[in-house]
Structure 1
Amino acid sequence: MIRKITYIESKQYDPYENLAVEEYLLLNCREDQCILYLWQNQNTVVIGRNQNAWKECLVSKLEEDGGHLARRLSGGGAVYHDLGNLNFTFLAGKENYNVDRQLEVILKAVSRLGIQAEKSGRNDVLIHGKKFSGNAFYEQGAHCCHHGTLMVNVNLGELSKYLTVSKEKLQSKGVDSVKSRVANLTEFLPELSIEQLKLALKYAFDEVYGLQAEVIGIEDLEQDKVQAAKKRFSSWKWLYGRKIDFQYELSHRFSWGQMNIQLKVADGRIEDVAVYSDSLVPGFIENIPKYLKKVRYNKNSICAELGLYWSRNQQEEEMIKDIIAWIKTVDL
């Protein structure tokens, strides 16, 4: 049961510090507490935990324009942040983590402003069929994180300038461009400001949980831990990960996301492997390589090893079945 709710805003726009604060709050959230954290990044592309930076974003162009590349803890796809976008994060213990309740805060907040929105699928919030909020999720130990974007007045030209969304993904959504499937809240409420939305979110947070939120500041956190996390989130290793000298690349789009597998093969066996995906289940994707290393490079061997994957999570069991069925159709 939630007995305490806490509200915190970031007053700066550094993506690495904002992600560091988010992780700190995640790891220090009490079991009976729910935290709402609001933050903004300036001219930033944020990619999912298991994505290939160079394939999702025009990195050189972003850097030339003084922008930032950041990688979050959760899975999902790449998003563009500027100061027309407000990010939210809910943090709670597993026992009290409730995505529907958390999304109710978002729906009530925009309703207070006179806009009726609806949930779509597992991770989008729409107005008249257009997405203004995308959501992603992450678990670590007994702690859970649910975060997302709220597009108030994002520069849609910049959004499509840096993101390299695959044609497969756009076709799966039934649209032909990034801009055609998203909308700013100001399209429906032209005078809306970020500050008005923040206030509406705080009121809705109190209302949904039936409690009065304690308001804290970034300065109230342990700054040495925040700065250590900031250093990691801004590091080359975290942002770009490990590149391998691969000879073969397999790619497929499933109902649960895009998947790319890069394979380095020597003497007929898989010597090294890298897996990239915008799946919302990052831990599952990170587990795949250990099943493929040292395996013979043929369909039967690969499928046999993947068939050993076991999880208590039914979603992961279905995902591994999808991957095996796909590998069986691939020419190796």
Structure 2
Amino acid sequence: MARDESPGVPFAIPGAPAPTVGRHHVNGCRLYAEVRGAGPPLLIIGAASDDAEMFRPIAERLAGLTGVAGFTVVTWDPRGTRRSTRAGWPCDSYTHADDAAALLQDLGLVPAAIFGASAGGIVAMRLAVRHPDLVRQVLVYEPGFFRSTDSGTALLARTTDAVRKHLRERTDDWAGALAVVARMAGRDPAARPNSPDDTAGRGPLDAPPGLEWYTERGAALAENFIRDDLPRTGETVDPALLRATGSDIRFAFGTDSAPVFREIAETLTRARQRTGADPHLPDAINAAAHLVYLTPDPIARYIRARCLPEEEVD
């Protein structure tokens, strides 16, 4: 079946098998999803401004092939994103989590391992709490729960105010509002560049030179970011619910990300801690930054190490 994709996506594996494409009617909308490989099921959840094609390189690295242990990987366009319909959109993380649960059930791929990144990490955590019977393991990478830390709360307030001001002056200029967010994130006093060379001065939402495909994709989905992802980062966490769920949840951050994301991961790990349990730290993924699709190899290695049975890992 032909795919609606951009052949120029960076990091895609040449000659990788095409996925099975489906459109699934769940919760009053139609969700576009792709399924690759063989093995235990894995659902990758991105933000509303991330479509399935952006996660294609990670999915290709994780798909189980003949003689190679891996997963049956599901990537999808969330409600309101590109090839999925916009009924009931924009929506909160609870709706996206219920959509993810219904999608997994419709595919018959439960219980599944879950990897959620950024605003998709918020959805992954909601999925773990609301539908624990459908998940096997949940990896929550740099979720945008900014209100869980002081630095995150301040950054969210500054960014939200700046976006509102921009949209008052330039109605529906979503790309311009996204640029405002990128500038504000880059001014985060806790943020640091990924390296001392050509990445200096980049913010956590900026793709490096040579990866303009992601910049263009992000600009095309700017409305999704502003109307769905940004409001979602104002949601809060109920520590009691987080501790009570029986789901296997791990929080993680990238070593090349802004420190605010490490702070959030540490805060949520402490909130998850049950009385009397041995303390543990969030997982640190070397050479990974906030936009996980820019570093597919370390992200894929991390997911394999955490979610595949030991005897199946290469």
* Global fold match (TM > 0.5): no
**TM-score between the two structures when normalised by the length of structure 1:** 0.28
TM-score, structure 2 length as denominator? 0.29
